[in-house]
Amino acid sequence: MLWQDLTITIVSIVLSLAMLPQLYHGYTQKKGHMHHATSIPTVLGLYVLCFVYFSLGLLFSTIVTFLTGTMWVLLLLQRVRYGDGVSCTKKVHSKVDISFSKEEQQKLEAVQSKVQELFATRTDKVHGFDHAERVAGYAALIASQEGSDVLMATLAGWLHDIGRAVEEHPEDFPTFDTKKTHHELSYELLQKWFREDEQFSILTDEEKIELLYDLRYHWNDEADDYASAYILRDADKIDGLGDIGLQRHHAHTKGNLKKAYMALRLRYEWLYHFKTDTAKRINEDLDLIRPFQEERTRLLKKEITSVEL
Ligand SMILES: [Fe+2]
Ligand SMILES: [Fe+2]
């Protein structure tokens, strides 16, 4: 049965090789891609096959099938260890149980739909719609736990990075000076929306001033005129940390080492500047710096080579 043994061995090796990228991505992204319902029957099936091959005297097939089964065990362990990779955000967002009044809901919808429209054709994985949605969720949670105005914090979260669309697509915004920071561009774009767009007449002047302040200073840890300003900054920091923060970091730095080291240092700085107890607690509970510590270790170790006299 030599040819059968060789054929099974070759096919099993090809199947094992096809799994390597999956294992590698699971490790680097700290994600368990494979659902238990897929991995557990596969592991059991492969070990049963392994026993059958052994009983038939197919030695190579037994060894290779055993190795393939073990790789599936590793996929199973990744799922157990890392979960589905979005659990961190889900864990936080699942705690948000906030009901808005009808008027507040209308204000929220006016802002949300405008942000959605802005990013609909200008997809930005790092600072686009998804980021705004997550930051709005974190801001809502923090504001509700801190007894602050949940609506204002949520609106600030949705709006804070609209200037990124101007920065990324200057051709769509010819009247803007794109040499300015995205914070300033966010501020100026929101001013324009407030002046020109009828749907924002639902907001009061006080609310508009507060939001303009929040956007303009979402980089400045001393700009605390409004609770929504520092809640927004805490929420923004949370989304820049943890597993999602690391994915955004990779998409942003695109392998540029100098940029990566600067961004890593900034993450450590952020830990000392969380303002609210809720954000500090989320940081501690979810150990948000861990992915960045691992990334830092990986980068530094990669740079060490032997020395010569
Ligand atoms: Fe920003
Ligand atoms: Fe942001």
The residue assigned the tokens 């400045």 is: 220
Residue 76 alpha carbon to ligand 1 centre in Å = 37
The predicted pLDDT at position 83 comes to 65
- Ligand of minimum distance to the alpha carbon of 237: 2
Neighbours of ion ligand 1 (CB under 5 A): 161
Residue 232 alpha carbon to ligand 1 centre in Å = 10
Which tokens is 261 given? 């080291």
- Ligand of minimum distance to the alpha carbon of 136: 2
Residue 130 alpha carbon to ligand 1 centre in Å = 13
The predicted pLDDT at position 180 comes to 98
Residue 99 alpha carbon to ligand 2 centre in Å = 24
Q: Taking the CA atoms of the chain, what radius of gyration do you get in angstroms?
A: 25
pLDDT tens per residue across all 309 residues of the chain: 678 888 888 888 888 888 887 777 776 655 677 777 788 888 888 888 888 888 888 888 888 888 888 888 888 888 876 666 544 445 555 556 678 999 999 999 999 999 999 999 888 888 899 999 999 999 999 999 999 999 999 999 999 999 999 999 999 999 999 999 999 999 999 999 999 999 999 999 999 999 999 999 999 999 999 999 999 999 999 999 999 999 999 999 998 999 999 999 999 999 999 999 999 999 999 999 999 999 999 999 999 999 999
Question: 182-217 burial, b for 16+ CB within 10 Å, e for fewer?
Answer: bbbbbbbbbeebbeeeeebeebeeebbebbbbbbbb
Output the pTM of the full model: 0.70
CB atoms within 10 A of CB 245: 21
Residue 190 alpha carbon to ligand 1 centre in Å = 14
Residue 290 alpha carbon to ligand 2 centre in Å = 20
The CATH H-level (homologous superfamily) assignment of domain 87-302 is: Hypothetical protein af1432 (1.10.3210.10)
- Ligand of minimum distance to the alpha carbon of 187: 1
The predicted pLDDT at position 86 comes to 45
Residue 266 alpha carbon to ligand 1 centre in Å = 14
Residue 284 alpha carbon to ligand 1 centre in Å = 23
- Residue 86 and residue 242 in contact, taking contact as beta carbons nearer than 8 Å: no
Ordered by start, the domain boundaries in the chain are 2-82, 87-302
Residue 248 alpha carbon to ligand 1 centre in Å = 13
- Ligand of minimum distance to the alpha carbon of 128: 2
Q: For residue 82, give the nearest of 134, 23, 131 by alpha carbon.
A: 23
Residue 95 alpha carbon to ligand 2 centre in Å = 21
- Residue 126 and residue 173 in contact, taking contact as beta carbons nearer than 8 Å: no
Cα gap 160→248, rounded to integer Å = 17
Which tokens is 230 given? 């520092």
Which tokens is 56 given? 């038939």
Residue 82 alpha carbon to ligand 2 centre in Å = 25
Using N-to-C axis directions, what is the helix angle for 102-120 and 129-146, rounded to 10°? 150
Q: CATH number of the domain at 2-82, please? A: 1.20.1280
Neighbours of ion ligand 2 (CB under 5 A): 161, 236
- Ligand of minimum distance to the alpha carbon of 220: 1
The letter for the amino acid at 204 is T
Query: Three-class SS string for the chain?
Result: CHHHHHHHHHHHHHHHHHHHHHHHHHHHHCCCCCCHHHHHHHHHHHHHHHHHHHHCCCHHHHHHHHHHHHHHHHHHHHHHHHCCCCHHHHHHHCCCCCCCCHHHHHHHHHHHHHHHHHHHCCCCCCCCHHHHHHHHHHHHHHHHHHCCCHHHHHHHHHHCCCHHHHHHCHHHCCCCCCCCCHHHHHHHHHHHHHHHCHHHHHCCHHHHHHHHHHHHCCCCCCCCCCHHHHHHHHHHHHHHCHHHHHHHHHHHHCCCHHHHHHHHHHHHHHHCCCCCHHHHHHHHHHCCCHHHHHHHHHHHHHCCCCCCC
